[in-house]
Amino acid sequence: MKRKFKSTLRLWIISFMALLFWANLSYSGSAQSNGENGQVEESISANLSIQQMNEEAALLYRYALEQDVEKVRGSILRISNGLEHISFEGQTTVEGIHALSETVVEVKEAAVRIKSDTTALQQASAKLRLAADSLANPAKPLWLQYYKIIKDDLQALSLAANQRQNAATLLSRYAALEEHYETVRPAALIRREPYEIAQLDAWLSHTKGLTMGKQPDLSQLQAMMIHGEELVNQLFGREKDESAFVPFVQGPDRRAAGMLITSVIVAALSYAGFRKYRAQQQGIFPFRR
């Protein structure tokens, strides 16, 4: 009887230990699996790529236009968290990274003030949209499309100075120029050398001072417009305005070709003048004193 009881007790102990072993093993496997899943999710969240950030910035801009505050805040939070884990090595300069970070902060602040200022959120979102695109598409970034807009702003300001418009008009023309430049500035700083941005910043600051006075110095402002066009062309990779006509001769013979064209034009004008003179002599055109 005792022997049978001992055998039964031993069997129960072995079964209990086996059950405990399998329970521990199952718990360990489950914990490891949960840990791996958590690590995968964390890795997906952390490893936000530049392309994904660009796509998220495009969504954020759309949410800002729709004034969907909750989606804007969720989108900017994802960009902000992912920004800490993106590798910018070889992508841009320290100044470019700093400009991008400042733009993210600007969107966050604008999202808080959206009830009192909806325009600020849209402008900040546009800046972030262009900056993210500048990183994702270095060959053909969207911000280069602002070239004509900023050139038109320059021409409008120059025209106002030439026409000697009042201070309010000059300041209004300058404000439009500054707003468009500030929109592309972070994106430009990501792809351009910092000194190019610094030159244009200094030019804008001086130009603003000229337009803010009660009696603006129009002659100096007109001179500044020429320098401003050069800086804008340089910023957008168009150091000289492209001619509407492409020279048909390249290389050393271009000067000779130019002289030939000039000679043809002079000869044509001379012939036209001679024909007009003969026509007047023959009474075809009325004689004018």
pLDDT digits (tens, 9 = 90+) for 22-39: 444 443 444 444 444 443
Q: Is residue 285 situated within a structural domain?
A: no
Q: What's residue 48's pLDDT?
A: 67
How many domains would you assign to the chain? Answer: 2
DSSP 73-135: HHHHHHHHHHHTT---TTTS-HHHHHHHHHHHHHHHHHHHTTTT-HHHHHHHHHHHHHHHHHH
Q: State which of 235, 259, 280 marks the end of a domain.
A: 235
Residue-wise pLDDT for 104-143, tens only, equals 999 999 999 887 788 999 999 999 999 999 999 999 999 9
Q: Is residue 174 situated within a structural domain?
A: yes
Q: What's residue 184's pLDDT?
A: 98
Q: Is residue 38 situated within a structural domain?
A: no
Q: State which of 138, 162, 184 marks the end of a domain.
A: 138
Q: At 4, phi and psi to the nearest 5?
A: -70, -40
Q: Is residue 154 situated within a structural domain?
A: yes
Indicate if 148 and 124 belong to the same structural domain: no
Indicate if 61 and 121 belong to the same structural domain: yes
Q: Is residue 44 situated within a structural domain?
A: no
Residue-wise pLDDT for 146-203, tens only, equals 999 999 999 999 999 999 888 899 999 999 999 999 999 999 999 999 999 999 999 9
pLDDT score of 18 more than 80: no
pLDDT score of 83 more than 70: yes
CATH of the domain at 202: 1.20.120
Q: Is residue 266 situated within a structural domain?
A: no
Q: Is residue 273 situated within a structural domain?
A: no
**More confidently predicted of 26 and 235:** 235
Residue 186 belongs to domain spanning: 144-235
pLDDT score of 73 more than 90: yes
Sign of the CA dihedral 276, 279, 284, 288? Answer: positive
Q: How confident is the model at residue 213 (pLDDT cuts 50, 70, 90)?
A: confident
Q: Is residue 265 situated within a structural domain?
A: no
Indicate if 158 and 221 belong to the same structural domain: yes
pLDDT score of 283 more than 50: no
Indicate if 120 and 151 belong to the same structural domain: no
pLDDT over 90, % of the chain:
51
